[in-house]
Amino acid sequence: MQINTNKKNTIIVAHRGASYAAPENTIPSFELAFKEDADFIEGDFWLTKDNEIVCIHDSNTKRVSNEKIKVQSSTLSELKKLDVGIWKGDQYKGTTIPTIQEVFNIIPKNKGIYIEIKDDRKIFVEKLREIINQSKIQNEKIRIIAFNPNTVRLAKDILPEIKTYWLFEWYFSKKKCLKSLARRRLMQTLKTLNCDGIDVNAAPYIDEKLVKSLRENNLDFCAYDVDKVEDAIRLINLGIDSITTNSPLKMKEEIKKNNSRNIA
């Protein structure tokens, strides 16, 4: 089959920053990612009790600090008291949970951000619109991603000018029937979302058939959890729009060594 390779270069996205080395979803992690030449960073976001958007993966702080408090029921100043860096190494002692504005402030001019909405409430998306409208980041340097299809719909409705992708967690099964079932479910849901594309895991499951269906529907396609260079190269040769990885520098260097097509 003929794959449409007439497209822009593949973007390398740093998953929770350079999270292989620095504490995920923190300013040191995002700074390291840009130092490692990531094109975009990816971060996870929730709304606090006092209506601030903060960057943290889980709904509570247990995994990354020595206290367990629920993000949605805490104020920004309560969350700022926690050390979310030391678990990754003494050099990160004193690192705090950043607000989304703090994250925006360290993004270099030609770089961008994948904002993963973990907080599925409408008030989150409304607050996000307010912050994006006040920020200097260009719309094309922002992508919104979410697992919940309703959140994807909501985001596209409230922020139509921002590219929004549905996150799809593929079944980890080698059985062919499950693979085609997953593909059918993915395409059926996508048609109802009015979004700009998908961001999927399980790179080995992304094949020409899927890419063809997506391109025929004018949709972008992206993959996350890509840490093996052979997966990245296969995806780049299929014309993928972005690859999200924990180790941006290693990935970029390996791709450049092994691949004939361009990355950003």
CA-based nearest residue to 151, from 191, 174, 175, 117: 117
Among 116, 196, 220, 231, binds ligand G3P (CB under 6 A): 116
Applying CB under 6 A, does 42 fall inside the site for ligand G3P?
A: yes
In this structure, are residues 114 and 244 in contact, taking their beta carbons and an 8 Å threshold? yes
Applying CB under 6 A, does 231 fall inside the site for ligand G3P?
A: no
Residue of minimal Cβ distance to ligand G3P: 224
Applying CB under 6 A, does 167 fall inside the site for ligand G3P?
A: yes
Residue 220 and residue 214: Cα distance in Å, rounded? Answer: 7
Least separation in angstroms between CB 170 and ligand G3P = 12
Least separation in angstroms between CB 6 and ligand G3P = 26
Applying CB under 5 A, does 196 fall inside the site for Ca ion?
A: no
Residue 69 and residue 73: Cα distance in Å, rounded? Answer: 8
Site string for Ca ion, 68-107 (x = CB under 5 A): ----------------------------------------
Applying CB under 6 A, does 20 fall inside the site for ligand G3P?
A: no
Q: Which two tokens stand for residue 237?
A: 């040769």
Applying CB under 5 A, does 44 fall inside the site for Ca ion?
A: yes
> Which residues of 78-176 form beta strands (DSSP E)?
112-117, 142-146, 163-168
CA-based nearest residue to 118, from 50, 44, 52, 11: 44
Coil, helix or strand for 62? helix
What is the DSSP secondary-structure string of 72-101? TTS-HHHHHTS--SGGG-GGGTT--PPBHH
Applying CB under 6 A, does 249 fall inside the site for ligand G3P?
A: no
Applying CB under 5 A, does 225 fall inside the site for Ca ion?
A: no
Applying CB under 6 A, does 15 fall inside the site for ligand G3P?
A: yes
**Nearer to ligand G3P among residue 10 and residue 244 (C-beta):** 244
Among 65, 244, 245, 247, binds ligand G3P (CB under 6 A): 244
**Nearer to ligand G3P among residue 81 and residue 185 (C-beta):** 185
Applying CB under 6 A, does 40 fall inside the site for ligand G3P?
A: no
In this structure, are residues 213 and 232 in contact, taking their beta carbons and an 8 Å threshold? no
Applying CB under 6 A, does 198 fall inside the site for ligand G3P?
A: no
Residue 234 and residue 141: Cα distance in Å, rounded? Answer: 25
Applying CB under 5 A, does 116 fall inside the site for Ca ion?
A: yes
Which of ligand G3P, Ca ion, none does residue 36 bind (CB under 5 to 8 Å by kind)?
none
Give residue 113's identity as a one-letter amino acid code.
I
- In this structure, are strands 242-245 and 53-55 parallel, antiparallel, or unpaired? unpaired
In this structure, are residues 72 and 47 in contact, taking their beta carbons and an 8 Å threshold? yes
Applying CB under 6 A, does 26 fall inside the site for ligand G3P?
A: no
Q: Which residues bind ligand G3P (CB under 6 A)?
A: 15, 42, 44, 57, 116, 167, 199, 224, 244
Q: Which residues bind Ca ion (CB under 5 A)?
A: 44, 116
